[in-house]
Amino acid sequence: MDSLEKVIYYVVQIGERYYKHTDGIATYTEDEEQAYAFTNLADVKEKAIEIQGTVHKREVSYKELQELSEQHEEEYMQLPVEEKEAIETFCQYLIDIKDDKGKVLI
C-alpha cells in the first residue's frame, strides 16, 4: 500500500493493556482500538520508554477510514435527537477550547 493511500500511527502496549490518554490523565485500556494513536515516532518512543511499554506500528487505508465514517454516520443518524445534540455540544466545546496553536487543552 502506497504511503499516500494510508495513515500510519503507533500505539504503546504495556502487558495486555494499551496506553490511553483521557482528559489529560494517562490511563490504560485492554481494547487496542481505544488506545491513544500517536502519529509522531519520536513522541511514541519517548512515551514507551517513560511507561516501559512496547511500540506497535499500525496502518489504516483511507478507503477503510471512509467506510468506517459512512458506517458511523449511519449509526449517528439513528440516534435520538437528544443524544445527537449532546454529541454536537461536546464537539463544539472541544473546538471552542483550542488555543491559538490548535492544540486541545483538555
- Return the pLDDT at 74: 92
78 in a domain, yes or no?
A: yes
Show the cell assigned to 4. Answer: 499516500
What whole-number distance in Å separates Cα of residue 102 and Cα of residue 9?
20
- Return the pLDDT at 99: 47
Which domain covers residue 7, as residue numbers?
3-96
102 in a domain, yes or no?
A: no
Q: What is the pLDDT along the chain (106 residues), one digit of tens a residue?
A: 566 789 999 999 999 999 998 777 889 999 999 999 999 999 999 999 999 999 999 999 999 989 989 998 999 999 999 999 998 888 787 777 654 455 554 4
What whole-number distance in Å separates Cα of residue 103 and Cα of residue 106?
9
Closest to 12 (Cα-Cα) out of 24, 23, 29, 22: 29
105 in a domain, yes or no?
A: no
103 in a domain, yes or no?
A: no
Closest to 44 (Cα-Cα) out of 7, 16, 19, 10: 10
Closest to 40 (Cα-Cα) out of 6, 5, 9, 4: 9
Tell me the whole-structure pTM to 2 decimals: 0.65
- Count how many domains the chain has: 1
